[in-house]
Amino acid sequence: MLSQAENDKLTRTNAETPMGEFVRRFWLPFLTAGELAENDGPPQRVRLLGEDLIAFRATDGTVGLVEAFCPHRRAPMFFGRNEEHGLRCVYHGWKFDRSGSCVDMPSEPPDSLFREKVRIGAYPVREAGGLLWAYLGPAPMMPDVPHFGWMDVADDYRFTGRWLQRSNFVQAIEGELDSAHLSSLHQPVAAPTDMPAASSFGRYMRTDRAPSWIVRERPYGLSVSARRVADGGLGYFRTNHFLLPSATLIAPDEGKARMWRFWVPRDDETTLVIAINFHEDRPIGEQERAAYRNGDMGFVVKRPGTDWPQPGPDNDYLIDRDVQRSRTATGIPGIRVQDLAMVEGMGPRVDRTREHLGTSDSALIAMRRQLLRGADALAAGTEPPAAARADAYAVRAWSAVIDDADFDAQCEARENGSKMSAR
């Protein structure tokens, strides 16, 4: 368990907190590019690390990310006019470009130099992989946007979703890295007859519910391997990755899409989830896309006009007790919603002083230590090395039935080799 002071340090991400400053050293995705598709189009509200911001695509196609309130009288910039390379506050007409400079101040005399003294807070934005990325750290330390493997595939080879979660970002990551819960939370009541033994709902997952763990430090974060007993003295390995500061890669079943998730801290109690499922060797099929839109395979259906999932605490995540008795362990529809019910149900910022962790928690213990160590090092003057390693993030998660003696070689081949099938 953590002390209260450690838990506070781990989970508080507003400005001038140790973890907030650490996360700010990395590029963070915040919208899909398609959500700001139109030059001079409507602005979008954004919340990152406790800050309310406004995103807009300017006349030349570049994207600005500015403070949500005009520095004049704190009027909301969301209602501003996006026009001619800048966002104009409609209250008194003050206009700001994407760098934060005031370029027009019609409420002041024409010969006034006041506008040269006024700025609105602004952050750099880059567009990569169909996402918009923001850097909220000090300008001299700004690194390159990290290069993930899914950025190399064609647009129709990937599917992107975005939603909000009612939990601290660390809770969200813990739920994703925890391979042990696959043997319980997501399982049907009756053993499926059509699943390969080596799969998320297969025999190995159901018969070995206490996997052993291999957790290794990597330049980008952690590789986390859960081993279950397989036939013939072999091991069924599932290797996931934690990617600093708050992304995950999850091992796919054979033939299934690969899964990348970024758990962006909006504030101490809510998380922005950006999810991408992708294939390296073929487009996402229409049936797959339909399933993703319907909330299957790691995605959610959102409430109309919002970014919140339709299943939530106010409707008990759509639990059906009859289904729980006869068909699934939870009676809650969909893997992602089952995870939501557990992680959000802990409360928005779980009290880790009351935990009793076991060997099944090896991955999340390592992740917490790495985050805390990084925040402490930065506070002592050492910048996070991973932030400067944009080239280190193009790794793969994988699953396979192999001999234990082959594990190291398989890690090297499957994580860093040339393009391969999903397994």
pLDDT digits (tens, 9 = 90+) for 72-86: 999 999 999 999 999
Phi, psi angle pair for 315, to nearest 5°: -125, 20
Give the residue among 99, 72, 76 at the shortest CA–CA distance from 86.
99
| Overall average pLDDT of the 36-63 stretch | 98
Q: Which pLDDT score, from 0 to 100, does residue 416 have?
A: 82
130: left (phi over 0), alpha (psi -120 to 50) or beta: left
Structure tokens at 301: 């259906």
Within 10 Å of residue 140's Cβ, how many Cβ atoms?
5
Instruction: Give the mean model confidence (pLDDT) for residues 290-316.
Output: 96
Q: Which residues contact 194 (CB under 8 A, 6 or more apart)?
A: none
CATH of domain 149-416: 3.90.380.10
- Token look-up 């050293």 returns 25
What's the burial of 256, exposed, middle or buried (CB within 10 Å: 0-12/13-18/19+)? middle
Q: DSSP of 260-315, one letter per residue?
A: EEEEEESSSS-EEEEEEEE-SSSPPPHHHHHHHHTT-TT--PBPTTSSSBSS-GGG
423 pLDDT more than 70: no
* pLDDT at residue number 297: 87
409-418 pLDDT tens trace: 999 899 885 4
Q: Please tell me the distance from the alpha carbon of residue 171 to that of residue 159, in angstroms, as a whole number.
A: 24
Tokens of residue 32, six digits? 């899909």
Residue 183, pLDDT score: 94
Q: Domain map of the chain by residue range?
A: 27-141, 149-416
Q: Is 377 helix (H, G, I), strand (E, B) or coil?
A: helix
What is the structure's pLDDT at 351?
Answer: 96
Of the pLDDT bands very low, low, confident and very high (cuts 50, 70, 90), residue 270 is very high
Distance CA 23, CA 15 (A): 10
Percent of the chain with pLDDT over 90: 94
Across residues 228-247, what is the average pLDDT? Answer: 97
Q: What is the pLDDT of residue 192?
A: 86
- Residue 253 is classified by DSSP as P
Whether the per-residue pLDDT at 58 is higher than 70: the answer is yes
Give the pLDDT of residue 95: 98
Q: What is the pLDDT of residues 354-377, one digit of tens each?
A: 999 999 999 999 999 999 999 999
Express each pLDDT in 381-409 by its tens digit.
999 999 999 999 999 999 999 999 999 99
What is the CATH topology of the domain spanning 27-141?
A: Rieske Iron-sulfur Protein (2.102.10)
| Entry pTM | 0.95
Look over the chain and give the mean of its residue pLDDT values, rounded to a whole number: 95
DSSP state of 18: H
Average pLDDT over residues 207-211: 95
**pLDDT tens, position by position, 325-364:** 999 999 999 999 999 999 999 999 999 999 999 999 999 9
